[in-house]
Amino acid sequence: MLSVSLEAAINNQIKVESDSSQIYLAMASWAEIQGFEGIATFMYAQSDEERMHMLKLVKYVNQRGGQAKISATEEPLLDYSSFRALFKQLYEHEVKVSQSINNLVHISLEERDYATHNFLQWYVAEQIEEEASARTILDKINLIGDDKGGLYMFDNDMKNFNGQNVTQ
């Protein structure tokens, strides 16, 4: 059984994951309209992945005797002035998500809820990957600068980008 405070904290994380899905979806739509098929493909896939993270939390809360809360979504407020600005926001958002997961882990340890602590380790590892991916993409964009040919190649590469090839 989840404690009231841990249930509330996980329900907050459900909203964080939902917001993450919306942010990626908004970025995907913008990239698609701009003609960047690779970036749009990547962003749509990330949006789906964030939704799966949310659903995993929903099911966990419900299985542990709590009640998952599904919050309203809001339109993401993003700076679309450049790809650099967009991906910088994405990286900063992933850092905030990591902080939120770390807070959950802290609460689970304070309450000696080792089942939840164990469950959350998947999210800890996932966030390491998410931050690394966002940082790698941002680094590539910074290397490209204003080179349109480089941006074209980057967009093409994004069709096949996933977190597993971050270190390659």
List the domain boundaries for the chain: 4-165
For residues 38 and 141, give the distance between their C-alpha atoms in angstroms, rounded to a whole number: 14
Q: Is 93 annotated as a binding residue?
A: no
Q: Is 130 annotated as a binding residue?
A: no
- In this prediction, residues 101-107 reach a mean pLDDT of 98
Instruction: Answer whether 0.85 is exceeded by the pTM.
Output: yes
Percent of the chain residues topping a pLDDT of 90: 85
> What are the tens digits of pLDDT across the range 113-129?
999 999 999 999 999 99
pLDDT grade, residue 82 (50/70/90)?
confident
Q: Is 50 annotated as a binding residue?
A: yes
Domain 4-165: which CATH number of 2.20.28.270, 1.20.1260.10, 3.20.20.140, 3.90.1150.10:
1.20.1260.10
